[in-house]
Chains A and B, each alone.
Chain A
Amino acid sequence: MALTPTCRINRHANKELVQEVPPIHAVRLDGPSRTSTKCGATNKQRIHRLARAPRAAAEQTIRTRERNLRKSHWRAGIDRRTLVKSGAALAAVQFASPFVIPARAADAVKIGLDNPLTGTYAAPGKNELVGCQMALDEINGKGGILGRQAELVVEDSTSGDAGVAVQKARKLIDSDKVNFLLGNVNSALSLAMAQVSNEKGVLHIVPGGHTDAVTGSSCHWNVFRVCNTTQMEANAVASALVKEYGKKVYYITPDYAYGHTLESGLVKAIGALGGEKVGGDLTPLGTVDFSSYLIKAQAANPDVILFLIQGDDMVNALKQAVQFGLDKKVHLAGAQQELEALEGLPPEARIGTWVMEWYWNQPGVPHVAEFVEAIKKRTGRPPTARNWFGYVSTWTCALGAEKAKSLKAVDMAKALQDFHLPPEIALGPNPAFYRAGQNQLLATLFVGNAQAKGSVPDDLFKVTKTVSGVEAAGPLEESGCKMTWPT
């Protein structure tokens, strides 16, 4: 039979295999695959042989085959043109159709939100968005901004790519022609966006990026910030820690702008109270396993381990620390804590001393209960500080424009100097205002302890002390901000 292969015996077991492989139809003609072929091996035996074949021999087979396939492979491969095309398509996707809350009027006032919706900071980013949307609905319900309806244009800045955040900021300003720019959760992205907004002269509000520089050494006349500086958080929590838990402190710090400034702020504040740093580690953003750092921290024998990491990293680290039983030997604490993170922790890991920048359970403070109810209607959860940041940021745009009677950035920025938020927006025990010469909101910081269970199931934080923003911030000169105004 012409199709039956010949069988040559060869020193290389595998070469034999290559040459004896019959064409498929030949096998079929020969009947079921179990039948012996001329070479005296069943197919089962051949598979066995192949599975056990010496590696070099198998490689030989593969190489021969690849040589034969190369021509067709080359055709299936991509050339430069295809690559460029797919690259362009990917770039186009990034700019395609942002999520727009539909405008009700052609001449709407536009607020551009350039904040993370994906990645590590998706949760805080989305919560700030909820706050923005709620404020927007309230503003439009009360007649809009200067008689015009307001609209929100939302872009995903990503969680850590400054290039994308800047591109989106330019796109919002240049092609969407937004009147205000909001963002970003990430400190580094906030700084990058501030450079763009300043260059374009657009009023920019940073809802939740904490590094000192935003309203410190890199401050701009047009950039306002709602959340606290890292130094304010450090000052607020330092005395509680040193007085109650001891002087020897170990730091677990995220290795980026926010972490560095927070740690140096805490070292300064705790040092002033007689405390000392007995050790510390800088951990890369997105570290999932903290056990090796915890082993080191434990060996340094501190009174307090400070967790300055945020978000998912904090959840991972706290969960592991509690599994190791470290909470029973050392006091675990930190500076900034967020309700989002506490909700992600199992009850036994909701421990430690922290600062909240806003907390929903404020008995006796007017308007807070209404705000809590309104947010619960939207998300089904009690509001977080991030909801409040977004809410305040958006309202600041409307209030500033009303006070300045203008949408011009310079007029508005001047109107917002020392501007006090009305109580239904400030939502705290102390007055909240944008300090003149720095554009930093000074409100209230809530120091306390995380708790497994409170009066109600969602009450995960016990406030032990409120610190006014003015007290936490210290004098204006210490901020390092030298504001220059356009002439």
Chain B
Amino acid sequence: MLARVADGGAGGEAWRMSQVVLFNVFNGLIVGAFYALMALGLSLILNLSGVINFAHGGFLALGAYLAYTLIPYIGFWGALIVAPPLTALLGLIVERLLIRPLYGQDPLYGLLLTFGLAYIFEDVTRMIWGAQSVPFQVPGWLMTSLSSQYFFLTGYRVFMMIIVAAAVGGLFAVLKYTRLGMRIRAGTRDLDTVSTLGVNVRVLRSLNFGIGIYMAGLAGVLAAGLLGLSPTIGANLIMPSFVAIIVGGLGSLLGTLIGGLMIGVVSGLAAVYFPSATEAVIYVMMGLVLLVRPRGLLGEEGRVH
């Protein structure tokens, strides 16, 4: 199939169409991987702490702007390494001061708090870095297309895929093989029991929140290289991530990953046949999943609060 595409655009209208479809599926997977990265952080926090973190997009924007500020001093690679942990540090402070008092309360409180925080973050970035978009430079050699046939495969996008794969793989490895990961998984199932078994749940929640925000910071730096960097970048990316979680199923990180990839592919296909619906189609998909399988693809029954 791919070999036939590589033969070139010869052939009729039907052939051109199938090439566009194939390209868009491929491209959708790339875009979806990015949504998945953001959604995984959200999902991690939601699963353990029951906090629906609407401020996740704010942390993402913050990570991106921190990187933008750091690039003149330490370069793109330095910023890629330094900005996400800085964002995570800030996440830890926010968690300690604002979110911790709300654990165990009605989830609505956490939702309202983070919803407000999202607005505050957006306006703070606007005050510090200005309302209009700023140019975010990545190394020039990443910015070129690798193949003239698959022109959408740029160096940067391949690099982004590698980082996403590494981050997702790293996260799953931490969860599976480390003591912290084991505790997080156990806490996701039943936090009270984990607590009674002598685990410091406060620290566990903080660390888990930190990991989630680290993923947001990383997603922010990657997004800034791909898109323009403006204060609304987080708000624009957050909704697809929520949809990814719901489609994939609450409580399942693997589901979130699959949900993210599905969003990319489905909106890519919508762009071929019904371009003005690329955004709506995500929610239609969510609606269908909720109707047919309310717990999501890999979700757990009764997990929805």
CB of A425 within 8 A of chain B? no
* Chain A residue with the shortest CB-CB distance to B108: A78
Which listed segment binds A: B148-156, B161-169, B206-214?
A: B148-156
- Contact partners of B189 in chain A: CB under 8 A: 50-51, 53, 58, 61-62
**Does B113 touch A at the CB level, under 8 Å?**
no
CB of B228 within 8 Å of the partner chain: yes
A291 vs B106: C-alpha distance when bound (angstroms): 41
CB closest residue in chain A, given B119: A118
Q: Find chain B residues with CB under 8 A from A312 CB.
A: 133, 228, 230, 232-233, 236
Measured between alpha carbons, how far is A276 from B227 in the docked complex, in Å?
30
A356 at the interface (CB under 8 A from B): no
Set B112, B145, B276: member contacting A282, Cβ < 8 A: B276
* Number of interface residues, chain B, beta carbon within 8 A: 72
Q: Is A219 an interface residue (CB 8 A)?
A: no
Judging by beta carbons under 8 Å apart, are A118 and B122 in contact? yes
Which residues from 211 to 243 on chain B have a C-beta closer than 8 Å to any C-beta of chain A? Answer: 223, 226-233, 236-237
Alpha-carbon gap, A298 to B271, bound state (A): 14
State the CA gap A73–B305 with chains docked (Å): 11
B interface footprint on A85-118 (CB within 8 Å = 1, 0 otherwise)? 0100000000000000000000000000000001
Q: Tell me the chain B residues, 127-151 only, with Cβ under 8 Å from chain A.
A: 130-137, 140, 143-145, 148, 151
A286 at the interface (CB under 8 A from B): yes
For the complex, what is the distance from the CA of A326 to the CA of B148, rounded to whole Å?
A: 10
Q: How far is the CA of A18 from the CA of B189 in the complex (A)?
A: 12
Contact string, A60-80, partner B, CB cutoff 8 A, digits 1/0? 011101000000010011100
A315 contact set on B, CB distance < 8 A: 133, 227-228, 230
B280 to nearest A CB, angstroms?
Answer: 8
Whose C-beta in chain A lies nearest to the C-beta of B196? Answer: A21
* B152–A324 touching, CB < 8 Å: yes
Q: Are A319 and B227 in contact, with the CB atoms below 8 A?
A: yes
Q: A17-B193, A344-B228 are in contact. Are A296 and B106 (CB under 8 A)?
A: no
**Quick check: is A424 within 8 A (CB to CB) of the other chain?**
no
With A61-B193, A315-B228 already in contact, the answer to whether A346 and B137 are too (CB < 8 A) is yes
Known: A51-B186, A62-B302, A340-B132. A325 touches B144 (CB 8 A): yes
> Total interface residues on A, using CB and 8 Å?
70
Partner of B154, one of A43, A126, A286, A324: A324
- Interface hub of A73, A119, A344 (most chain B Cβ within 10 A): A344
Q: Are B131 and A122 in contact (CB under 8 A)?
A: yes
Q: Are A323 and B156 in contact (CB under 8 A)?
A: yes
Asked whether B278 is an interface residue with its Cβ less than 8 Å from the other chain, the reply is yes
Partner among A51, A63, A283, A343 whose Cβ is within 8 Å of the Cβ of B278: A283
Structural contact, A343 and B192, CB atoms closer than 8 A: no
Q: How far, in angstroms, from A73 to B106 measured CA to CA in the complex?
A: 7
Closest to A82 in B: B108
In the complex the two chains form, what is the Cα distance from A291 to B268 in whole Å? 9
Once the chains are docked, how many angstroms separate the CA of A122 from the CA of B9? 43
A73 to chain B: closest residue by CB: B106
B271's partner among A47, A86, A296 (CB-CB below 8 A) is A296
How far, in whole Å, are A68 and B115 apart by their CA atoms in the complex?
Answer: 30
Determine which of A73, A122, A340 lies in contact with B231 in the assembled complex, contact meaning CB atoms within 8 Å. A122
Q: Which residue of B lies closest to A341 (CB)?
A: B133
Interface residues of A in 311-364 (CB under 8 A from B): 312, 315-316, 319-320, 322-326, 340-341, 343-348
CA distance A164 to B95 in the complex (A): 33
Give complex CA distance A118, B280 in Å: 23
Alpha-carbon gap, A379 to B145, bound state (A): 38
List chain B residues, Cβ under 8 A from A123: 130-133, 230
- A176: chain B residues at CB < 8 Å are none
Q: Are B236 and A288 in contact (CB under 8 A)?
A: yes
Given A118-B122, A282-B275, check contact A21 B151 (CB 8 Å): no
Select from chain A the residue with minimum beta-carbon distance to B231: A122
Cα separation A347 to B23 with both chains bound (whole Å): 28
Which of chain B's residues have a CB closer than 8 A to the CB of A77? 106, 108
Chain B nearest CB: distance from A339 CB in Å? Answer: 9
Give the contacting residue for A59; candidates B108, B228, B301; CB below 8 A: B301
A284 within 8 A of B: yes
A316/B228 in contact, CB under 8 A: yes
Closest beta carbon of chain A to B177's beta carbon, Å: 11
Determine the residue in chain B with the shortest Cβ distance to A122. B131
Selected contact of B151 from candidates A22, A281, A296, A325, CB within 8 Å: A325
Distance from B108 Cβ to chain A, minimum over Cβ atoms (Å) = 6
Indicate if B182 sits at the interface (CB-CB under 8 A).
yes
Task: State whether B183 touches A344 (Cβ < 8 A).
Answer: no
Minimal Cβ-Cβ distance residue in A for B136: A346
Name A346's contact: one of B135, B148, B182 (CB within 8 Å).
B135
Q: Please give the distance in Å from B284's CB to the nearest CB on chain A.
A: 13
Instruction: State in angstroms the CA–CA spacing of A291 and B160 once bound together.
Output: 15
- Taking a contact as CB atoms under 8 Å apart, the answer to whether B302 and A50 are in contact is no
Q: Are the C-beta atoms of B196 and A22 separated by less than 8 Å?
A: yes
Contact of A320 with B226 in the complex, beta carbons under 8 Å: yes
* Residue of A with least CB distance to B23: A295
Asked if residues A292 and B278 are in contact (CB atoms below 8 Å), the reply is: yes
Interface string of A11-55 (1 = CB under 8 A from B): 000000110011110010000110000000001001110110101
Residue pair B197, A43 in contact (C-beta under 8 Å)? yes
Known: A24-B196, A59-B300. A326 touches B182 (CB 8 A): no
Quick check: B275 and A281 within 8 Å, CB to CB? yes
Q: A65-B192, A295-B27, A296-B271 are in contact. Are A324 and B135 (CB under 8 A)?
A: no
A119→B182 contact, CB < 8 A: no
Kindly state whether residue A137 has any CB partner on chain B within 8 Å. Answer: no
- Nearest residue, chain A, Cβ from B144: A325
| Contact A323 B143, CB 8 Å, known A61-B193, A292-B267 | yes
> Which residue of chain A lies nearest to B279 when distances are taken between CB atoms in the complex?
A284
Q: How far is the CB of B171 from chain A (nearest CB, A)?
A: 15
Given A22, A78, A284, A326, which contacts B106 in the complex, CB threshold below 8 Å?
A78
Interface residue? A481 (CB, 8 A) = no
CB distance from A150 to the nearest CB of B (A): 25
Residue-wise, chain B 234-260 has the 8 Å CB interface mask toward A (1 for contact) of 001100000000000000000000000
User: Can you give 17 contacting A-B residue pairs, CB < 8 Å?
Assistant: A27-B197, A48-B182, A55-B300, A65-B192, A123-B131, A123-B132, A289-B31, A291-B31, A295-B20, A299-B16, A299-B19, A315-B230, A323-B157, A325-B145, A344-B228, A345-B133, A346-B136
Cβ-closest 9 pairs across A and B: A344-B133, A33-B198, A315-B228, A123-B132, A292-B271, A281-B275, A282-B276, A123-B131, A51-B186
